[in-house]
Amino acid sequence: MRFVELDIKKHHDVVLKFRKDSFIVSFGDLGDFDEAGYLRWLERKSSQFPSGFQLIEENGEFVGQLECSILEYEDEDIGYGHLFYLI
Work out how many domains the chain is built from and give that number.
1
Is the pTM higher than 0.85? yes
Q: Given this model, what pLDDT does residue 5 score? A: 95
Write the CATH number for 13: 3.40.630.30
Contacts of 3 (CB under 8 A, 6+ apart): 54, 55, 56, 57, 66
Pair 19, 38: CB distance under 8 Å: yes
Q: Given this model, what pLDDT does residue 59 score? A: 96
Q: Given this model, what pLDDT does residue 14 score? A: 97
Q: Residue range 62-72: average pLDDT?
A: 95
Residue-range definition of the domain harbouring residue 6? 2-86
User: What's the rounded Cα separation, in Å, for the pair 29 and 13?
Assistant: 19
User: What's the rounded Cα separation, in Å, for the pair 68 and 23?
Assistant: 17
The string of pLDDT tens digits covering residues 1-59 is: 999 999 999 999 999 999 999 999 999 999 999 999 999 999 999 999 999 999 999 99
| Angle made by CA atoms 58, 2, 85, in degrees to the nearest 5 | 70
Q: Residue range 63-82: average pLDDT?
A: 94
User: What's the rounded Cα separation, in Å, for the pair 21 and 45?
Assistant: 20
